[in-house]
Amino acid sequence: MEFNLKVGMSYKVELEVELKDTAVSLGSGSVEVLATPRMIALMENAAMKVVAADLPEGYSTVGTHLDAKHMAATPIGMKAYAEAELVKVEGKKLTFNIAAYDEKDKIGEGTHTRYIIAVDKFMEKTNQKLDA
């Protein structure tokens, strides 16, 4: 199947940091600041949404690799956002540059790889694990 995806496509997602987004709540640290796993999820969400609207019905993407660093803390009540840009398309393999910011600083950056999947086939194969 051919996919109409172009290098340079991008997407931005935003959130206001709440207690549920903090390192304390997610169990990844002991301070009430935006948790690294939550920042990573925001970055992955931006990457997923870069291509989501351009995939045919029944197709999606799954993350397979992420290399990112968390560079600055973000307090509760501050907005944070992530941007993803599609930088390479190799068949079903998609590579993104990802970055995250709050209202003051760049808080994270890295790269992310996703693969295009047929959802039904993917879930059928995954659910076979339950039969073992």
Q: What is the pTM of this model?
A: 0.95
Q: Hunting for tokens 């993803």 — which residue is that?
A: 84
**pLDDT on residue 1:** 72
Q: Looking at 2, 16, 32, 36, which residue is catalytic? A: 36
Q: Where are the domains of the chain?
A: 10-131
Model pLDDT for residues 27-62, shown as the tens digit of each residue: 999 999 999 999 999 999 999 999 999 999 999 999
Q: Looking at 61, 70, 112, 113, which residue is catalytic? A: 70
Do the Cβ atoms of 98 and 112 come closer than 8 Å? yes
Domain 10-131 in CATH 3.40.50.2000? The answer is no
**pLDDT on residue 5:** 96
Q: For the residues of the chain, what is the DSSP string, one character each?
A: ------TT-EEEEEEE--GGGBHHHHTS-SSSBB-HHHHHHHHHHHHHHHHHTTSPTTEEEEEEEEEEEE-S--BTT-EEEEEEEEEEEETTEEEEEEEEEESSSEEEEEEEEEEEEEHHHHHHHHHGGGG-
**pLDDT on residue 60:** 98
Blockwise average pLDDT, block size 10, the chain, 132 residues: 90 98 97 98 98 96 98 98 98 97 98 98 96 80
Do the Cβ atoms of 51 and 94 come closer than 8 Å? yes
**pLDDT on residue 2:** 75
- Is 36 one of the catalytic residues? yes
Q: Looking at 22, 44, 61, 85, which residue is catalytic? A: 44
- Is 112 one of the catalytic residues? no
- Is 85 one of the catalytic residues? no
